[in-house]
Amino acid sequence: MRRAIPIPGLILLLGAATLAADSNKYDLSQAQIDDIVQKFAAKEAQFAKAREVYTYRQTARIQELDDSGAITGRWETVSDIVFSPEGKRTEHVVRSPVPTLRNITLTPEDLEDMRSVQPFVLTTPDLPKYLIRYLGHQNVDEIGCYVFAVKPAKIEGNQRYFSGEVWVDDRDLQIVKTYGRGVGNASRKGDNQFPKFETYREQIDGKYWFPTYTVANDTLHFKSGDQRIRQTIRYEDYKQFGAETKIIFGDEVKDDTKPAQPASPSPAPPKKQ
């Protein structure tokens, strides 16, 4: 005979068994990890291609802070990423007040990080540049995510790289969050320091996970002394350019009840101071 288990105890055991099963579900083999990496890198390539045909406004701010958190200097640029009548993508500066930074100077590496590292995209052609390690599974705002550590395999020339962690939606297989910093050789001699940052993405048009917010709140350790800084970048008002441009993930669902529309081919699969 066995001792009967009271109902509350049975519920606890069932709950524990469910948690253990969920944990084992994300204890992936190396083959499974490699497959996920290849799939999300291909999705990232599609995302990068799609973002090239969107307009948006970018507001970038950097602030120097004293020990009490008061702002002592600032830099700001508001730009619209738009298309010319000829269809050429360009950046139009809307507002750029005179900087009042006193203790730090923005370098070409800082500007490159804002352009390409902080809105990090890890596409298939970029995979050989990075070492990628699976860390496990976490939720980000109730979104189930695979978490990977990412760092450059080798630093070459003056190229900038991302080093940190990425969270990949376990359903859409696109990056939804990044945390890390820009790394690489500096093109100019000097005491260059780069802050840790977080970039968040949101789903645009129901399918593309585009960056919408980057934030850094860090203390940079210069040889001349420490400097606390705060940086924010907002990417807003995404709009697809041109009625004739059509980016599709997966197979298009045809609706014979609607008038035919001219189609364009789907993109071929092949990412703060």
- Ordered by start, the domain boundaries in the chain are 23-240
Spans of the chain below 70 pLDDT: 1-23, 187-189, 242-273
Tell me what pLDDT residue 261 has.
Answer: 39
Tell me what pLDDT residue 249 has.
Answer: 43
Tell me what pLDDT residue 188 has.
Answer: 59
Tokens of 138: 């976490």
Tell me what pLDDT residue 37 has.
Answer: 98
pLDDT digits (tens, 9 = 90+) for 66-106: 999 999 999 999 999 999 888 888 999 999 999 999 999 99
Q: Which of 42, 46, 23, 45 is nearest to 34 (CA)?
A: 42
Question: What's the predicted TM-score (pTM) here?
Answer: 0.78
Tell me what pLDDT residue 86 has.
Answer: 81
Tell me what pLDDT residue 33 has.
Answer: 97
Tell me what pLDDT residue 102 has.
Answer: 94
